[in-house]
Amino acid sequence: MSTQKLKEIIKQVLPDVETVICWQEGFDKLNVTPIFITSPEQVDQVVWNPLCAQNLAGYLPSQKKKVAVAVKGCDSRTIVQYMQEGLIDRDNVVIIGIPCKGIVSKKKVQKAIGNEPVEDVTFTDGSIKVKTPSGEKTLSLADVCPTKCTSCQFPTPIVYDQLTADAIKSDKPAESVYADVVELEGKTLEERKAYFASQFDKCIRCYACRNACPMCVCQDSCIAETRDPHWITQKNSLDEKVMFHMIHALHLAGRCVECGECERVCPMEIPVAKLKKKINKEMKDLFDYTPGVNPEDKPPMYTFNVDEAKIKEHKL
Amino acid sequence: MADKGYLPKEKIKEFVEALGKDAAVYAPCLEGDTIIFRQYTPDKEISLDRPANTPPKGAIYPQCETLLSFEFKKDAATPQKMDVELKANTDFPKAVVFGGRPCDAKGFTVIDRVFVNTDTADPYYKKRRENTTIVTKCCNGPYAGCFCVGVGGGPASREGSDVVMTEVEGGYYLEAVTDKGKAVMSLPMIQDGSSYEAKAKQANEKATAAVRNPFPADAKISPELFDSGDFWERVVDKCLSCGACTFLCPTCYCFNITDEQAITTGERIRSWDSCMFQHFTLETSGHNPRPAKYKRFRNRVGHKFAYYPEKYDGAIACTGCGRCIRYCPVSVDISEIVGYLKDPKADPKQWAADKKDAKN
């Protein structure tokens, strides 16, 4: 089992690092929460299962000392992007890679079980069994996975120092990645406006999406909150909410590693990743660039070529 | 006017519309998979299936509220003089908060102590509060993260409500708690409910027994552990410093005031603030009394479980609704943290000791 192997690796790397960042069981069986391991006794608390949705790589830039982090394939793109942007010192990070066959969206499970309290959760190959006061329900992982898993191109981490299991290859077609964006593009401008207005109207400006975003590097200096300059008002009107989300999306142009954290953490269940994916699709089209796949790449917004490829086709 | 009523399930819409005859009704409305308190209009779908993602706090204490609008005006007679014209509005319509949970209703009582029951009452909140009737739906059982019983509440608690509804066969048993509530009971679709009283009581008791109580009875918060930086650093290292916990909280009332001005006109607005944000209580001088994440987090827990109770006769500023736990991006569990603080064996050294090379 890769959980056992994960624990072994953590015990092995712990003496060389300050902290190992991994997952442990949360407040109930359906919730997993990060664990910052500093002593071998904590290793037994480590879990690895499809509930380990959080992208732990997001904690890396704030770490001051050498740390180890457990990452899934999708999470590893964050590290690659950090390397491209010089946000971490690779020598100070030990990457424990976990080949992953797909994770679970807690929100989808909760919906499927009618929001009942969860008493127990078990996994069998390809399914999750959830026990609630009114009985047991078995759900197919394919039905309760987040959108990103349905088109996963990187089940095995791109960068790693150790792997917990044999590498897995993606069986999803590359064009499936932007299927949801293509669907949205098929709608009229008015339909799209109405769609985003209805979604962003739910926003409470808690900034969970921003703070969970591993590539949101402004953090405490975000212009959504600064008083000086005073770019955005504190009003909770739709205009101001949309403005904030547009800023978030535009700051991620060619940088979003599509980890889906923004969407996963949204307490109002707004599909906040859609705008970012749309911009990524444009960046792919314009600059043939995919964020977080090659540490040697340079993000297009970090560089300038006089003869940008395809620039004429786009009449720029 | 009977104190005990019965409302068949199919008459909910009719009931809400009757409540809305002379008042704005705020109800839990389904939008996609999200349940949000919105001002009810007939095109909206009310959902009482589970507690809403948001508490109804905003119906009485809006996330953003115009305290006054202002306009700078030049006086034609003395052009060197600039006058400012101020306008404030506290003329709020009657309102009903429908379908909140007992934890939500109790949340208003926490804010009342600060905004109403004081010499310096807040005119905006006070007026809205007086104008609002609260019709609460009791919970059938606990939801993920809930712990109302642990903080002196319960899934059938009456505190803060004018009417409480308990789900019984085919509908709801209604009980008036206040005079405002009795007025609601006179609506024509409310039938006599006395025959449902025993069943409702049974359901309330069953729900109460099912809610967890994460704290040892009467345990006090350990002041030594509360003052330990090591403890707080350990428990909040995973926190992302977002405001989900505070903005979804039925009791958090901290606010900010900003002037939003364009040339000569503008508004002074009050908007919810969050102690999780780095800018919280940042002073004009640039000094930040809580510069570290753990200090801000300690403020949140301290405010609810230590400072507020000290000031208000032991009342806890948390109603155990569980939203901060349920919707936390990284599953930070405030009940677990308070559990550590209330552990009779709490020892600050323990938190420092197992920290490898803690401060070198």
Answer whether B42 touches A (CB < 8 Å). Answer: no
Q: Model confidence at A173, in pLDDT bands (50, 70, 90)?
A: very high
Q: Model confidence at B360, in pLDDT bands (50, 70, 90)?
A: very low
Q: Please indicate, yes or no, whether residues A165 and A249 belong to a single structural domain of this protein.
A: no
Q: Select from A234, A273, A233, A230 the least CA-distant residue to A252.
A: A273
**In residues, how long is chain A?**
316
A149: in domain = no
- Amino acid A310: pLDDT: 65
Share the mean pLDDT of chain A. 93
Burial group, residue B41, by CB count within 10 angstroms (0-12, 13-18, 19+) = exposed
Rounded mean pLDDT, B160-178: 97
B217: in domain = no
pLDDT at B359 over 50: no
Name residues whose C-beta falls within 8 Å of residue B355's C-beta, 6 or more positions apart in sequence. Answer: A38, B230, B234
- Amino acid B93: pLDDT: 92
Q: Which two tokens stand for residue B165?
A: 């509804």
Q: Please indicate, yes or no, whether residues B283 and B176 belong to a single structural domain of this protein.
A: no
Share the mean pLDDT of chain B. 93
Rounded mean pLDDT, A153-157: 97
A150: in domain = no
Q: Model confidence at A302, in pLDDT bands (50, 70, 90)?
A: confident
Q: Please indicate, yes or no, whether residues B91 and B239 belong to a single structural domain of this protein.
A: no
Rounded mean pLDDT, B227-236: 93
Q: Please indicate, yes or no, whether residues B130 and B193 belong to a single structural domain of this protein.
A: yes
Is the Cβ–Cβ distance between A7 and A43 less than 8 Å?
Answer: yes
Is the Cβ–Cβ distance between B165 and B137 less than 8 Å?
Answer: yes
- Amino acid A234: pLDDT: 86
Q: In what order do the strands lie in the sheet with B64-74?
A: B82-87, B64-74, B265-272, B255-262
pLDDT at B72 over 90: yes
Q: How many domains does chain B have?
A: 2
How far is the C-alpha of B191 from the C-alpha of B170, rounded, in Å?
Answer: 13
Please report residues of B whose CB lies closer than 8 A to that of A227: 258, 279
Q: How many domains does chain A have?
A: 3
Each residue's pLDDT tens digit, B252-307:
999 999 999 888 999 999 999 999 998 898 888 989 999 999 999 999 999 999 99
Q: Select from A292, A252, A295 the least CA-distant residue to A75.
A: A292
Is the Cβ–Cβ distance between B221 and A186 less than 8 Å?
Answer: no
Q: Select from B163, B200, B193, B197 the least CA-distant residue to B180.
A: B163
Please report residues of A whose CB lies closer than 8 A to that of B354: 38-39, 41-42
- Amino acid A313: pLDDT: 64
Given B162, B186, B210, which residue is the final one in a domain? B210
Q: Please indicate, yes or no, whether residues A43 and A69 belong to a single structural domain of this protein.
A: yes
Q: Please indicate, yes or no, whether residues A300 and A189 belong to a single structural domain of this protein.
A: yes
Rounded mean pLDDT, B185-206: 95
Q: Please indicate, yes or no, whether residues A134 and A236 belong to a single structural domain of this protein.
A: no
Q: Please indicate, yes or no, whether residues B245 and B98 belong to a single structural domain of this protein.
A: no
Q: Please indicate, yes or no, whether residues A56 and A74 belong to a single structural domain of this protein.
A: yes
- Amino acid A232: pLDDT: 85
- Amino acid B353: pLDDT: 52
Q: Which phi and psi (to 5°) does residue A125 adopt?
A: -55, 115
Nearest-by-Cβ selection for B260 from A107, A199, A233: A233
Query: Domain limits at A210?
Result: 178-308
Q: Is the pTM here over 0.95, yes or no?
A: no
Q: Please indicate, yes or no, whether residues A138 and A202 belong to a single structural domain of this protein.
A: no
- Pairing label, strands A67-72, A19-25: parallel
Query: Domain limits at B237?
Result: 223-353
Nearest-by-Cβ selection for A234 from B269, B330, B356: B269
Nearest-by-Cβ selection for B243 from A107, A133, A207: A207
Q: Please indicate, yes or no, whether residues A249 and A301 belong to a single structural domain of this protein.
A: yes
Q: Model confidence at A227, in pLDDT bands (50, 70, 90)?
A: confident
- Amino acid B357: pLDDT: 47
- Amino acid B217: pLDDT: 72
Residues pairing with B70 in the sheet: B86, B266
**Lowest model confidence (mean pLDDT) among A168-182, A213-227, A251-265, B290-304:** A213-227
Q: Please indicate, yes or no, whether residues A121 and A188 belong to a single structural domain of this protein.
A: no
Rounded mean pLDDT, A232-247: 92
Is the Cβ–Cβ distance between B63 and B253 less than 8 Å?
Answer: no
Given B210, B239, B258, which residue is the final one in a domain? B210
Q: Please indicate, yes or no, whether residues A183 and A265 belong to a single structural domain of this protein.
A: yes
The structure tokens 């008083």 sit at A227
Q: Please indicate, yes or no, whether residues A31 and A84 belong to a single structural domain of this protein.
A: yes
- Amino acid A70: pLDDT: 98
B247: in domain = yes
How far is the C-alpha of A249 from the C-alpha of A272, rounded, in Å?
Answer: 9
Rounded mean pLDDT, A42-60: 97
CA distance A133 to chain B (A): 10
Each residue's pLDDT tens digit, A266-293:
999 999 999 999 999 999 998 899 999 9
Q: Please indicate, yes or no, whether residues B201 and B254 belong to a single structural domain of this protein.
A: no
Name residues whose C-beta falls within 8 Å of residue A8's C-beta, 6 or more positions apart in sequence. Answer: none
- Amino acid B74: pLDDT: 87
Q: Please indicate, yes or no, whether residues B201 and B246 belong to a single structural domain of this protein.
A: no
Each residue's pLDDT tens digit, B76-91:
888 888 899 999 988 8
Percentage of residues in chain A with pLDDT exceeding 70?
96
Nearest-by-Cβ selection for B329 from A114, A198, A265: A265
- Amino acid A2: pLDDT: 81
Q: Please indicate, yes or no, whether residues B267 and B346 belong to a single structural domain of this protein.
A: yes
Q: Select from A55, A77, A69 the least CA-distant residue to A213.
A: A55
Is the Cβ–Cβ distance between A68 and A162 less than 8 Å?
Answer: no
| SS3 state at B123 | helix
ipTM: 0.93
Rounded mean pLDDT, B187-194: 95
Nearest CA in chain A to B33: A269
Q: Please indicate, yes or no, whether residues B144 and B232 belong to a single structural domain of this protein.
A: no
Each residue's pLDDT tens digit, B100-137:
999 999 999 999 999 999 999 999 999 999 999 999 99
- Amino acid A93: pLDDT: 98
- Amino acid B358: pLDDT: 40
Q: Which two tokens stand for residue A52?
A: 């380990």
pLDDT at A307 over 80: no
Q: Which two tokens stand for residue B287?
A: 């000094």
Q: Which two tokens stand for residue A119?
A: 């008493």
Each residue's pLDDT tens digit, B2-41:
789 999 999 999 999 999 999 999 999 999 999 999 999 9
CA distance B260 to chain A (A): 6
